[in-house]
Amino acid sequence: MNKKPPQGLATRAIHGSASKDAHGSPYTPIYNTTTFSFSSSAALLDVVEGRKPGSLYTRYGQNPTIQSLEETLAGLENAELAWTFCSGMAAISTLFLTYGRDGIACVGDVYGGTMELLSSQLPQLGIRTHLILGKEIDRLDELLAAGSKLVFCETPANPTLELLDIRAIAARTHAHGALLAIDNTFASPVNQRPLELGADLVVHSATKYLGGHSDLTAGVLMGSKQLLMPAWSWRKNLGGMLAPETAALLSRSLRTLAVRVAQQNASAQAIAEAMARHPRVARVLYPGLPDFPGHALARSQMHGFGGMLTIEVKGGGDAATQVADRLRLFTLAPSLGGAESLVTQPCTTSHHDLTKEERARRGISDAMLRLSIGLEDCADLIADLDQALMM
């Protein structure tokens, strides 16, 4: 019997690729080449026609640096296959073009680029898209009955950290013969693995936790071989492949993913608790707080509560802006998941283009500050928040 013992996620993040370099390098080096040569036409055809694995052309993803990264990524979500892309949006748009052409139902708040694609660009191609809020989940059956074949959501969502029940949505989706895809960027595979909860496909902006250092842009789509093969041709010809250098950088980041996220979870929990006691903070939204509405669901579908939290400052939007501007260690910038802590005020960044009424409908107030907790000393981060909140 040649069965591998079951391994934990941290081990798989380091040893998840079976490919070994001919010179004994412990990790697949950067194959900074666009193409690969063959000893004969017969050998070339074996690869082209899929009889033998091999490298062929980098834009196809058939490059050892990219292939070993994809093997490792698939292992993190317990997926059969993973396809990498040059950005999270390239992964999401390829997913939509592969499986969303008969209609897409999007549940809850999603990333701004995804929202724009669903509400502006895809309808220009004649694709019917429907966006409902998490609290309107009962409308999902109606959308599925009307023919939507792909359900898409993010959980936890930005910036409210609202959670959606992946198991329950998967059951409803499958009852109508549709597919469920989850954007798992906020949680990372360390904290949540949607495929194990019944989802069919997972996407990540690898720009965030998977990359983890705010120095690369990449995306990934994962799922079964049956579902990923059709997406391969779309990726190949839309051309959104990531570069081998980026693939190598992302592979290096994955080796520390488990320890990074564990530390970010621990710091976020401590900061959430400190902010919940703070006299100048009206509300803290964090799945790890026992009084957070999604806490029980987080316990049942997540392995950690994550490194993202949102605080609502007393005194409204102007007070929140002042706090954001007074923070010194927290940097005012969009994005998340890096080693450095970041702060954004959703009404000035991610949700700036929505009307005040639409933000209110989504439970987003001007007084909210979204924090991405990095890897600094937690006491220093709390001290920074304390000084910025002092008025």
Ligand X SMILES: *Cc1c(COP(=O)(O)O)cnc(C)c1O
Per-residue x/- track, 45-84, ligand X (CB under 6 A): ----------------------------------------
SS (H, E, C) 309-349: EEEEECCHHHHHHHHHHHCCCCEECCCCCCCCCEEECHHHC
Q: Please confirm, yes or no, whether 377 is among the known catalytic residues.
A: no
Q: Report cis status (omega within 30 of 0) of the bond before 5.
A: no
- Degrees (nearest 5) of the Cα angle 207, 289, 352? 45
Shortest Cβ 39–ligand X spacing (Å): 39
Choice among 109, 183, 366, 384 that is catalytic? 183
Nearest residue to ligand X, by Cβ distance, number only: 88
* Total chain residues near ligand X (CB under 6 A): 15
Residue 78 and residue 29 in contact, taking contact as beta carbons nearer than 8 Å: no
Closest distance to ligand X from the beta carbon of 183 (Å): 5
Single out the catalytic residue among 31, 99, 111, 209: 111
CA atoms within 13 A on the CB side of 19: 19
Least spacing, CB of residue 211 vs ligand X, in Å: 9
What's the closest the beta carbon of residue 28 comes to ligand X, in angstroms? 23
283 carries an active-site annotation: no
Candidates 28, 55, 62, 87; binder of ligand X (CB under 6 A) is: 87
- When asked if residue 94 is in the footprint of ligand X (CB under 6 A), the reply is no
Residue 205 contacts ligand X per CB under 6 A: yes
- Token pair belonging to 373: 């907790």
Chain centroid, CA 391 distance in Å: 36
Task: Establish if 185 lies at the interface with ligand X (CB under 6 A).
Answer: yes
Q: From CA 277, how far away is CA 273, in angstroms rounded?
A: 7
d(CA 164, CA 17): 32
Report the nearest approach of ligand X to the CB of residue 68 (Å). Answer: 21
User: Strand, coil or helix: what is 269?
Assistant: helix
**Least distance to ligand X, CB of residue 153, Å:** 11
208 binds ligand X (CB under 6 A): yes
**Residue 28 near residue 72 (C-beta atoms within 8 A):** no
Is position 141 annotated as part of the catalytic site? no
| Choices 49-57, 87-95, 238-246, 383-391; region in contact with ligand X by CB under 6 A | 87-95
Half-sphere exposure of 184 (CA within 13 A, CB side): 29
- Order of strands across the sheet with 81-85? 81-85, 219-223, 201-205, 179-183, 150-154, 104-107, 129-132
Cβ atoms of residues 218 and 242 within 8 Å:
yes
Q: Which residue, 199 or 389, is less far from ligand X as judged by CB?
A: 199
Q: Which of 26, 165, 22, 56 is nearest to 107 (CA)?
A: 165
What does each C-alpha distance from 376 to 45, 70, 267, 340 come to in angstroms?
52, 30, 9, 7
**Per CB under 6 A, does 246 bind ligand X?**
no
Binding pattern to ligand X, positions 141-180, x when CB under 6 A?
A: -------------x--------------------------
Residue selected from 70, 71, 183, 200 as contacting ligand X according to rule CB under 6 A? 183
Q: Active-site residue 208, yes or no?
A: yes
- Position of tokens 């013992």? 5
Given phi > 0 = left and psi -120 to 50 = alpha, else beta, which region is 363? left
Q: Quote the CA–CA distance of 253 and 14 in Å, as a whole number.
A: 10
Residue number with CB closer to ligand X (193 or 208): 208
Nearer to ligand X, 63 or 93 (CB): 93
Report in angstroms how near the CB of residue 109 gets to ligand X at its nearest. Answer: 10
Pick the binder of ligand X from 14, 81, 82, 89 (CB under 6 A).
89
Q: Which stretch binds ligand X (CB under 6 A): 85-93, 256-264, 293-301, 368-376?
A: 85-93
Task: Kindly name the residue from 27, 46, 59, 141 that is annotated as catalytic.
Answer: 59
Give the residue numbers marked as catalytic. Answer: 59, 111, 183, 208
Task: Provide the binding-site residues for ligand X, judged by CB under 6 A.
Answer: 87-89, 111, 113-114, 154, 183, 185-186, 205, 207-208, 217, 219
